[in-house]
A and B are shown apart, each in its own frame.
Chain A
Amino acid sequence: MRNDELLRYSRQIILEQIGGTGQEKLLASSVFVAGAGGLGAPALYYLAAAGVGRIGVADWDAVDISNLQRQIIHFTDDIGKLKSDSAFEKLHRLNPDIKIERFNLQIDAENISDIIKDYDFIIDGVDNFPTKFLINDAAVFLNKPFSHAGILRFSGQTFTHIPGGACYRCMFPAPPPAGLVPTCSEAGIIGPVAGVIGSVQALEAIKYITETGQLLSDRLLTFDALTSEFRTIKIKHANNCPICGDNPTITELQNTELPTCDI
C-alpha cells in the first residue's frame, strides 16, 4: 500500500477488524452497483471512499432536477448529464486511485450476466421490480452475492443474498401484480431513507469483502423512519423457490415489462 493510501484509509485500517489486510482486500475487490440513484448514490460514494479497487456503475438515465433531493452523487450542474457520467466524475474526484467502470445502458436479460460476472459483489439499487428480479435471478445463476434493497415513502428494507442462502424469490416468488405497484402519486420518498438503506448496502459489501461481522443473509432488515425503528425478520431458503428451490421453474433469464414509477 502506498503511503498516501495509508493516510487516506487510516481511519478504517485502525479498526481491529479491517487493518492493513482488510484494506488490501478492499483494494483488490470489485463491486457492481446497478443504478446510480437514491440507493446507488450513497452506496457508490462510500465504496469509492473506502477504496474498493474496482467499481462498476450502470444507469441509462440522465440527471433530472427531481433526483437531486436524494441522489446525493449528482449536483445541480449535472442536470441533463448521464447519471453514469455524473457518478463517474464524482467518484473519480473523490478517489482517483480506484478504477471506475461506467455502463450507460439499461440492464436486461441479455447483458446482465456478462456485466456482473466479473464482480465480487452486486448491489441492487434499481427502482423497478422487473430489474430487481432480474438481478436476483442472474446472481443466483452465477453464484454471486448481492444486496437487495427497496425504499418507499418513509421506509426501507434490505437483505443480502449469499449463494446457498435465501434469495429474493424465496420471499417473493414473482413480481407483484400491476395493481399493487404504487402509482406515481403514491411513490414518494424521503431522501435520508435512501441514504440509510444505501449506506447499509455499502456496509454489506465491505463486510462481505473483508469477512467482517455478520451479513444480513437470511435476514430482512426493515427501517421505519417515522417510528425510528429498525427490525430484522428471519427469512428462510424456500424449498419451493421457483429459482433456487428443489424443483426450479425458472431456468433462464427473462425480460418482463411492467409499468414503473421513478422513485
Chain B
Amino acid sequence: MKIGRSLYNKIVAYAVSELPNESCGILAGRGSEIRYFFAMSNSDMSDEHFSMIPEEQFYAARRIRELGLEMIAIVHSHPSTPARPSREDIKLALDQSVLYAIISLADFNGDSLSADMKLFRIAGDVKKEPLEIFDDKPYGSVILPKIVTDDVVEFSDKIDLYKRGKMREASFKAYRVPMGMYQQRNPEQYMIRIRVAGIPTSAQLQKIAFLSKRFGDGVVHLTTRSDIQIHGVTIDGAADVMNGLLEVGLSSRGGGGNTVRNIHASPLSGIDPAGVFDVIPYQVQATEFMLESRSSWHLPRKFKIVFSDSEKDSAGAWFADLGFIAARRSGTDGFRVVGGGGLGTSSASAVPLISFIKKDEAAAACEAGKRLFDKIGSRSDHFRARLRYAVERLGKELFKKNFMEIFEEVKGERVNYPDARFNDFEKINLFFNRTSKYKPLGTVERGYGAVEFHPALGLIDADKLVLIARFCEKNNAEFRPTQKQGFYIARLRENKTEEAVETFREFYNPIASTVPVCCASAATCKLGIGLSRGLAGQVRSVMLEKPNNLLFGQIHISGCPNNCGQHSTAGLGFFGSAKRVNGRLVPYYSVVMKRGKGLAESVGMLPAKNIPSLLKEADSPEDIPGLLSRFQMVPDYESDPSFYKDWGADKDFSLAGRGPGECGAGVLELIDFDLTEADSYLRSGKFYESILSAARSLLVIKGIDTTVDREIFEGFKRQFIDSGYVEENAEEILNAAIDSKLSGAALSSYKEKIAALIARIRLLRESLDRNLNFKVPPLVKKSDISDKKKSHDRLDLSGVKCPINFVMAKVELEKIPIGKTLEVILDDGAPIRNVPESFKNQGQEVIKIEHLEGISNLMIVRRVK
C-alpha cells in the first residue's frame, strides 16, 4: 500500500491531538493507494484500547460511498507502545476484508517521521503489509514556484544595492512594492504583506510571529483580503523576513503593486454547510498558476481574484476584478464567473461574464481575465486603471465579449495547470457531549465547528499568534483568515470551544459592531485623511456599552474614499474627508449605508467628533439618516478646539504631509517617473539631465539599473538603438550629451530632437504589455536596406513580401532616367507573379524574367514614363 506524506502527517497529527488517549479512524482509498482519512471518536477514552461507535462507522461508510472510494483500513494509535497489534487488537479484528493500521507515538519527538505507522492483515495470523510513503502536495497549501524564490533572491540584491546607495529610491520602490513591501509614514520603516492563500499551517503562523518579533514591531495585522502583515520592519531586516517566509513556503510576492494580488476564498470553504463545494483547491491552483507567470507582475493596475463557495458570496466575488462563485448545474460542480467589480473611490459591482464553467476551467479563466486586463486596462491613467473602468469604457456587452474571446483562446492552448488538490481528511464526532457555554458555528463535520475571532483593528501580538497556532496544532484545528481582519479557529471539536474562547478572550468579539473593520490609516498609509483607527476605537467603546449593539452589524471605516476599510460593502460605514469651517480644517466623515443589494451609498457627512455621540443616540442604524442634521454643529475654535482635532491625534487636523499612495508602484511607474523628469528638465533647459532621464527610463525593463551615466547611455544604445526600437539618430543625441559633459558645449540646438526622443520612448512605454515586451515593432533601420538591398546594380528584394517589394522597386525605378533598365531580384511564388504585372499595369516595360539558381528570379524593367 502507499500513502501521501501530507495525509500521513494528518493521521499522526490527529493521534497526537487525542493524547493521552488512543485515537482511531478509518482509511479509505482506491486500489493500493490510501487517499482519505476519517478521524473518529474513541468511545473508550482510554490510553490502552479503543472502540468506535456504530453511528460514526455508518456515517463514514456512507461518506466513503459518496466519495467513490473503498474502505481500506481501520487505524488506531498506540500512545506509548510499539506499532504492533496487541492481543486485544488481534482478538477484536473481526473484519478480514480490511487492513489494520497502527500508529505508534512511543518515539514521537514532534516530527511526524518519528511516529511509526504500520499496516497489518489480520486473518487468524498477523501479516505485515508494506507501506510506502510518497511525497505529495498537500491540500490547502500553496507550493511556491521557483520563480518566486528566484525573485526573492534577486530582491535581496536590490535591497543591498539600495542600502549601499547604488540604487535610487524611486527604482527601489519599483521593486519593493510589487514584492509586497510598503514604506510606512515613518520612512525608516516598512510593512511587508504576506499573501496567505489556502489554510496557513501552524509552522507558517509561528514563523510569521517570529519574524514580526525579530525584525518588526511584534504585532501582526490581519487584513481584509486574507493577507497577514508584519509592520515596522527596517531595511536591514527586510531580506531576512522574505527569506524566512520562503523557508515555510510563504511569500509577499505580489502583495502590492500592479500585480495579481492575493487570491482569497470563502473563509469556511469545504466545511460551511451552505457551500456548494470546496473552492480552496481552485484558489490554491489559481494562486500557483498566477505566481509562476512573470506576466502577473506588470499589469496596468492591481488585479484581485476571489473564490466564493456559494451565492451567499462570503468572499466578495462581486467586488473583485475576477470573481468565481461555486455553482452546481445538473449534477456538475463549476463556477459562475463575474468580473470588473471593485472597491475604491468609485466602487462597482462586477458584471456577470459566464453563467457556468467547469471547475477545472477556473485557472484558464484567471489567465483569460489577466490577459483581458492587460489588453484593455488603461496604462496611462493610473487612477482609472482598474478593470471596472474598462467596463465603463467598453460597456458590459463588449467587455463580456472580449472576455469570452480570450477565454476561448486560452482554453485552446495546451497549458499544464498545477494540480488541484482536494481535502483528504474528515472528522466525525457523535460521541462527546456538546457542553459548551459558547456555541460554535456548525459545520459539515458533525461534532466539530468554527469559532470566529475578531481582534480589534485586526491586530494580534506576535506572541499571541504563536499561542493560537499551537492551540490549532494541539487540537488538530485550522486557522482560517476571514476578510474582516479576523480569523476562525475551524474544525475544532465542539467541546474545545470554551477553551478556545477563554484562552483568546481578547479576540473574541461576537458582536460585530464592537469591532469595526478599519483600514490601517496613519499606521502605514501616506494617503489617509481621517485617522480611521482612532475613530474605530471610539466606535468600539460606544458599541460595547450599547444595549442593542447587535442591530448595528459589521461597521466599516476607511480613512479616505479609497475603501481600504471596505465601507462600500457596509450596512453602516464611514470614510474620512475634511471640511473648512470658520476658516479652519475640520476632520469629517461621510456616512454610508447599504440598503438591500448593491453598494453602500452616502447618506450625509458628520464632523468626526460627533460620530460617537450620534451612535449613542441611535437605537438602530435606521435612525441614523434622520439624526444626522442634529449633529452638524461645529462650534468655533475658541469655544471647543476638540472639533478641530481628529480622534487619536494630539495636534490640530491638517492635510499636510499626505503623499501619493504606495500601492501602485511598479516598473511602469518608474518609467513614468523618469519620463516626467525628462520632460521637466527639457522645459527648464537642463538638456543633459533630460537626455539622461529619458535614456534611463526604459532600462529597467531590461534589468539594468545603474547610477553611472556612461552605463546608462551604453545600455540605451545597446538595448534600444541597436535593436531598432529607437531611431539611429538618437545616438547623435547621446554623443552630444556626453560631449557636452566633457566640453561644456551647449545642447540647446538639440531641444527638438530630445523632445522627439522622449516622445518615441513614451510611445514604446505605452505599448508595453504585461510581459514587458513592446507591442510596436522595431523600426526598419536605414542601414538594413541601404546595405543589403542596393548592393551592385541589382535591387535584391528576396525575402521581401508583396506589395512592399513592388513599392521598393518602383521607388528605385523612379530614380533612374527614362529608357534605362533596373534589375530586380524577387522570390518565387506571389512576388514573381505579381510584381511584373504591376509594372506592366503602370505602363512600364518588363523586358525579361529569368529564373536564377534556388528560388530567386530576375526581372528587368525599363523605365518608359
Contact = CB atoms under 8 A, between A and B. Distances in A.
A14 B803 contact: yes
A7 interface: yes
A21 interface: yes
B822 to A, nearest CB: 13
A77 B381 contact: yes
B565 to A, nearest CB: 30
A10 interface: yes
A163 interface: no
Contacts of A4: 779-780
A19 B811 contact: yes
B817 interface: no
Interface residues of A, number: 18
Contacts of B808: 6
Interface in A1-23: 1-4, 6-7, 10-11, 13-14, 16, 19-21
A93 interface: yes
A231 interface: no
B843 A7 contact: no
B810 A20 contact: yes
A236 interface: no
Given A92-B759, A93-B763, A96-B756, A6 B814 contact: no
Contacts of A11: 803
Contacts of A10: 803-804, 807
Contact of A14 (B759, B780, B806): B806
B55 to A, nearest CB: 67
Contact of B814 (A2, A21, A92, A93): A21
Nearest to B812: A20
B782 interface: yes
A77 B389 CA distance: 13
Contacts of A3: 780-782, 784-785
Nearest to A5: B780
Nearest to B786: A3
Contacts of B381: 77
B760 interface: yes
B780 A7 contact: yes
Contacts of B842: 16
A19 B814 contact: yes
Interface in B813-865: 814-815, 838, 841-843
Given A3-B785, A16-B842, A96 B763 contact: yes
A6 B811 contact: yes
Interface in B9-51: none
Contacts of B779: 4
Contacts of A21: 814
Contacts of B804: 6-7, 10
Interface in B422-480: none
B784 A14 contact: no
Given A16-B842, A16-B843, A93-B763, A6 B807 contact: yes
Which of B760, B780, B843 has the most CB atoms of chain A within a 10 A radius of its CB? B780
Interface in B657-714: none
Nearest to B803: A14
B780 A20 contact: no
A14 B810 contact: yes
Contacts of B784: 3
Nearest to B813: A20
Interface in B753-769: 756, 759-760, 763
Contacts of A20: 810-811, 814-815
Contacts of B815: 20
A174 B842 CA distance: 47
B391 to A, nearest CB: 15
A19 B782 contact: no
Nearest to B780: A3
Nearest to B843: A16
Nearest to B838: A14
A27 B308 CA distance: 60
B759 A96 contact: yes
Contacts of B760: 96
B343 to A, nearest CB: 24
Contacts of B782: 2-3
Interface string B127-151: 0000000000000000000000000
B799 to A, nearest CB: 14
A20 B804 CA distance: 13
A4 B785 CA distance: 10
A96 B843 CA distance: 34
B326 to A, nearest CB: 39
Contacts of B806: 14
A29 B614 CA distance: 73
Contacts of A14: 803, 806-807, 810, 838
Nearest to B844: A16
Given A3-B785, A10-B804, A19 B810 contact: yes
Interface in A75-110: 77, 92-93, 96
Interface string B771-786: 0000000011110110
Contacts of A7: 780, 804, 807
Contacts of A1: 811
A245 to B, nearest CB: 41
A92 B843 CA distance: 37
Contacts of B838: 14
A4 B838 CA distance: 22
Contacts of B841: 16
B4 to A, nearest CB: 55
A24 to B, nearest CB: 9
Nearest to B724: A4
Interface in A169-206: none
Nearest to A12: B807
Interface string B349-391: 0000000000000000000000000000000010000000000
Nearest to B755: A92
Interface in B778-807: 779-782, 784-785, 803-804, 806-807
A21 B803 CA distance: 18
Interface in A45-60: none
Nearest to B778: A4
Contacts of B811: 1, 6, 13, 19-20
Interface string B739-762: 000000000000000001001100
Contacts of A19: 810-811, 814
B113 to A, nearest CB: 62
Interface in B391-442: none
B310 to A, nearest CB: 40
A16 B810 CA distance: 10
A22 B707 CA distance: 48
A209 to B, nearest CB: 17
B394 to A, nearest CB: 13
Contacts of A6: 804, 807-808, 811
Nearest to B804: A10
B823 to A, nearest CB: 18
Contacts of B763: 93, 96
Which of B785, B811, B841, B842 has the most CB atoms of chain A within a 10 A radius of its CB? B811
A13 B780 contact: no
Nearest to A18: B810
A4 B725 CA distance: 12
Contacts of B756: 96
A7 B806 CA distance: 11
B445 to A, nearest CB: 55
B705 to A, nearest CB: 28
Given A3-B780, A19-B814, A20-B811, 15 more contacts: A4-B780, A6-B804, A6-B811, A7-B780, A7-B804, A7-B807, A13-B807, A14-B803, A14-B807, A14-B810, A16-B841, A16-B842, A20-B810, A20-B815, A93-B763
16 contacts: A3-B780, A3-B781, A3-B784, A4-B779, A6-B807, A6-B808, A14-B803, A16-B841, A16-B843, A19-B810, A19-B811, A20-B810, A20-B811, A20-B814, A96-B759, A96-B760
Closest A-B pairs by Cβ, 5 of them: A20-B811, A3-B780, A10-B807, A3-B785, A16-B842
